[in-house]
Structures are given as C-alpha cells and as structure tokens.
Amino acid sequence: MIFNHIALTAADPSQLTKHRRRRRGFTLLELFLTLSLAVVLMTLVNAAFRFYAVEMDSSDQDMRRTMLASAVMQMIEDDLRASLHPVPLDTSALETLLASTASSATGGGNTGGDPGAAEAAGMDDPALEEEVATSVSGVAVLQTPGLIGDQYQLQIDTSRLPRLEEYTVLMDVDPGNLADLPSDLKTVTYYVQASDAVGVDDPLAKLDASASTGGGLVRRVLDRSATTFASTSGNLSALGQTGELLAPEVTGIEFSYWDGVTWQIEWNSDELGELPLAVKIQMSMLDPLVPEGEQEPRLFSHVVRLPMAKPIEEEEEDDLSGAGL
C-alpha cells in the first residue's frame, strides 16, 4: 500500500497538495463554536468570582458586626456587674440603747415613748429624710449609688479602683469636656445619640473636615461627684458633650429590668430600694456606609444578671408580717 501511495503521488502531485490544504486549519463553523464556548465559559467564571466576592464581603460584614455587638455587650455587662448599691445600716440596736439610756437617765422611763426623745437622739426626724432621686432636665441624680434608667437610657454607679493612666487626666483636660477625677466611684451612662444631635463628636470625624457629628451608642464615664455637680448646677450642655462614641453602627438600644416577676421598662434604686435582678439589652445595628433603605437592621439581645441584686418580695413579706403582728 505504501508503494502504491508513493506511486500515485509521484504520478499525480496535485492530489498531495489538495490533501495538505484540507488539513491546514479549522472551518468557520468550528471557529464560531469555539469562540461561543469561550464566551460562555468566561461569563460563568466571572459570575462565579462575583458571587464569591459578594458572599465573602457580606460574610465579613456580618462577622464584624457580630464581633462589635459582642464587644459592646461585654462592656455593658462588665459595668452592670460592677454596679454598686450600699446596704442601709441597721440602727435598731443603737436606737434601743439610746432609748434605754434616755429612760434610765430620766428615772422612770416616762420619755421612752416620747417622740421628743427620739428627735433629741436624732432618730426618725422627717426633716432629715432626703428625697429620692430627682431629675434635672432629663439627667437623673441619685441620692445613693445605684441604678436608674428607662427604656432607652441606663445610668449606673460602679465601683472600681482607678488605673495608673487615669491620673494623667489631671494634666491633660479638654476644655470642651467636663474634668474627670480619678476615683473608685464612677457614674456610667449608656444611650444612643441621634445623628443630627449636638453631642459627642465622632473621633473619626477629625479625618474629614466636612463630616458632622454622627449618631451611635455613647458611653459616658465620669466621677459621681462631678456628674452630680454638673447635673445640679445646670452644666448640662457640657455633660451632653462628654463621653465616647462607641459604635456609630448602633441605631437603637432598649433596656428592660427584671424584678423577679415581670420585666419593667423603668427602674429607680432609690425608690425601689434594690438593684434589678437582671437587665435585658436589645440592640439594633446598621452599616453606616450603606443606605438605610437597602439594608435591614440586625438585632442583638443579651441578658445580664446582677450579682449584688436582691429580690424585693422579701422586704414586702417582712413588712406584711410586721404589720400583722
């Protein structure tokens, strides 16, 4: 066969030329199909990369938002667990001793039930009784350290030893803020600032001169005496501009207070006499770089138990039992 092919080629060289022309390239149909498949493949690869990038970006934002919410919740929990509420001093033994001493000194006990003797001893004098917590233009002033708050704002008195770096505040004080003092008794306040309110400035706004005061979760930590003095002296503007903007992503926060039976939306330790057994924190967050209409707020919830709290029902039962006797 080989010899025959060679013989035919030698006899007719045009056949070899036609054979080579047939094997030289692709046909137009093959080229069109190849280009079509390449376009389809590149479109699928581009869609896959875009989907992966969008999903990774969304997952990264959700993870960052979750980590931020966890850090904020942990900070509020640490402050709540460090809340302080002093136990009233039991002076019943001292009253009994003073009453017996006064009766023995008068020789007959005629003044044992005299209200004047009690007033002389300094007991049960209505003029000496202090009023419960008052409010000056929305800023609460507690007579004794404790907790006061409503559905949208929380104020607690915490007890912590000051750190060494806190003493530098005496040498570097911003004139726009209230001067804080290193002390072991601080008043911590949490609330959400509106985006158009004149209050605490965003530290990142210093990088952009055109940026205005933004909203977000504000945490104010001041010495309790400084907070009380600013509230009672009318220096509320400086008090409202003092604090730290923790998270501009927080658009709303709500507090609920557990009294052992139901969740309350308000709490005053001066009126109720005790701290709440637990505090529920509900927080909503949005991405400030994305328009609000293009996203849904994400909600976070956390319940904090206060170790220094005591049930109020015990005092009520003691009062009822004492009244029955």
pLDDT tens sequence across 92-105: 788 888 888 887 77
278-285, strands of its sheet edge to edge: 263-264, 250-258, 278-285, 298-305
Strand partners, 154: 149, 190
Q: Are 239 and 230 in contact (CB under 8 A)?
A: yes
Q: Which residues contact 128 (CB under 8 A, 6 or more apart)?
A: 122
pLDDT (tens digit, 9 = 90+) per residue, 48-90? Answer: 888 777 777 777 778 888 899 999 999 999 999 988 888 767 7
Structure tokens at 25: 């390239």
Q: Which residues contact 253 (CB under 8 A, 6 or more apart)?
A: 152, 190, 191, 192, 217, 281, 282, 283, 284
Assign residue 107 a region (left: φ > 0; alpha: ψ between -120 and 50; beta: otherwise): left
What pTM was estimated for this model as a whole?
0.65
Residue 40 parent element (H or E): helix 28-81
- State phi, psi for 284 to the nearest 5 degrees: -115, 140
Q: How much is the pLDDT for 52?
A: 76
Q: How much is the pLDDT for 203?
A: 67
Say which residue, 195 or 131, is predicted with more confidence: 195
Strand partners, 83: 158
